[in-house]
Structure 1
Amino acid sequence: MKRALITAGAAGIGRAMADGFDAAGFEVWVTDVDAGALDQCPDHWRCHHANAADETAVRDVFDQMDHLDVLCANAGVAGPTALVEDVALADWQACVSVNLEGAFLAAKHAAPLMKQAQSGAMILTSSTAGIYGYPNRAPYAAAKWAVIGLMKTLAMELGPFGIRANAICPGAVEGPRMEGVLEREAAAKGMTRDQVYEGYAAGTSMRSFVTAQDIADMAVFLGSDQARMVSGQVIAVDGHTENPDPKL
């Protein structure tokens, strides 16, 4: 049976990915720092309590595997919402650690398994912030840009071994994490939460947020044989962002 590992797979976008690969017939492994969310996962999943930026914890999970077909390096945090001069170094480091180092560690430890099989797909979760930049979110935008650079390099290094790498760039995704972003950005800009929400939606061609399911559907496609020649690509699932920092 094909196997998929999703980091931060117990809730949000990661949970939707895990559900999607489960429905597609994969054996699902997930890691997450939220023990409560892991407890809500189906009994037939292999669930591991692990911080994606902790190499010891990550290595322990991969040491239990004899093969891996799809990696979804999905772990991420929003980081602070502040002007760059107001960002504390500790907050910068915490944001970059999970978003970038988490993806690096997952890829580092997945690569030997996939090389052994001469096949595999790595799917890294970046963001439209990694394409356009993101005012008041410097740590997050920098990390997500770097994730794309990591993905491009993985595609080049691992392609000769039959391994593909791609990045999905979600736009504004409905859910608790985005609600927190909306509230913090509203406070930083002196706006209401609804004004910020409307600004995000107005900045897309589709005039809408996306859902976790939209992201999961793309991940399952990229992990499938139908995408066997898709590699090194940055794929935005965002309703087409026209203006990454809409002014109301």
Structure 2
Amino acid sequence: MRVLVTAGASGIGRAMAEGFVATGAEVWVSDVDRDALAALPDGWNARQVDATDEVAMRALFAEIAQAGGLDVLCANAGVAGPTALVEDIQLEDWRACVSVNLEGAFLAAKYAAPLMKAAGQGSIVLTSSTAGIYGYPNRAPYAAAKWAVIGLMKTLAMELGPFGIRANAICPGAVEGPRMEGVLAREAALKGMSRDAVHEGYAAGTSMRTWVTAEDVANMAVFLGSEASRRISGQVIAVDGHTENPDPKV
């Protein structure tokens, strides 16, 4: 099995890559972070690529095609974007957030589709978010992009299904890690609360009263890339401990 994980050098992406490596898959990882790429284990096919750069993405997929093709795409590139009320968000910040989260997924799917069609099979896994299911206060560009990722996934599932290709979206909830630490700090400042109170509020908004880990999300990606999920397509699957309240409170 050959797998590409975009933004795979750290966080959820790295956990996905590690999960597929553990199954014996040949894993390719792309990322913009040179230092994170340098820290990856020996033997991984690591490439420094901006997920929003079409020329670079086209070249990456051409290289993958020459190496034998692609079975699984995990289009995982994303950024948190600004934490602010809609009226306080700058257009350039909106565009930057939407570009990475949505256009990055689009470009990955655009160039993965022909490789998978040629093989007559494949699995595309897009990383959305619970913000793409419920919307989210103070995170308008992120929520809008993640909703759009789900629309992209549904369309891919319909277009590519006749070719034996599946498409699904994973919606992580609050995932422990550096990216959410930044979100916590900004929300705490915006709401006049402590970081710990905001952190507890996220857990309180789930039925399981918990955050999730990158490995929890990666486990779902590995399942969706496997033969065990061969009849699962067009689905939005939350890995979030069951979000009850999309506006975390204490």
TM-score band w.r.t. shorter chain = over 0.9
Deviation string, structure 1 residues 100-152 (Cα, Å, up to 9, x no partner): 00000000000000000010000000000000001000000000000000000
Tell me what 1:92 maps to: 94
Equivalent of 2:211, from 189, 209, 212? 209
How does 1:144-183 map onto structure 2 within 5 Å?
Answer: 144-183=146-185
Does 2:247 match 1:245? yes
Q: Could you tell me the percent identity over the aligned residues?
A: 77
Report the equivalent of 1:7: 6
1:131-179 CA distance string (max 9 Å, x none): 0001000000000000000000000000000000000000000000011
TM (norm. structure 1) is 0.99
TM-score by length of 2: 0.98
* 3-state SS of paired residue (1:105): helix
The 5 Å alignment of 1:59-74 reads 59-66=58-65, 67-74=69-76
2:46 alignment partner, SS class: strand
2:229 corresponds in structure 1 to 227
Q: Which runs of 5+ in 2 are unaligned?
A: none
Amino acid at match of 1:46: N
SS for the counterpart of 1:64 is: helix
Cα deviation, residue 43, structure 1: 1.5
4+ long deviations beyond 4 Å? none
* Residue matched to 1:188: 190
Tell me the CA shift for residue 247 of structure 1: 2.9
SS at structure 2 position matched to 1:154:
helix
- Contact 2:75–2:126 (8 Å) recurs in 1: yes
Q: Which residue number in structure 1 is paired with residue 51 of structure 2?
A: 52
1:210 alignment partner AA: V
SS at match of 1:113: helix
Letter in 1 for 2:26: E
| Cα distance in 2 for residues equivalent to 1:181 and 1:194 | 12
Deviates more, 1:72-81 or 1:38-47: 38-47
Superposed CA RMSD: 0.5
Q: Letter of the aligned partner of 2:139 in structure 1? A: R
1:199 to 198, 201, 218: 201
2:112 maps to 110
In 2, the alpha carbon distance for the partners of 1:13 and 1:232 equals 21
Residue identity opposite 2:123 in structure 1: A
Larger CA deviation: 233-242 vs 59-68:
59-68
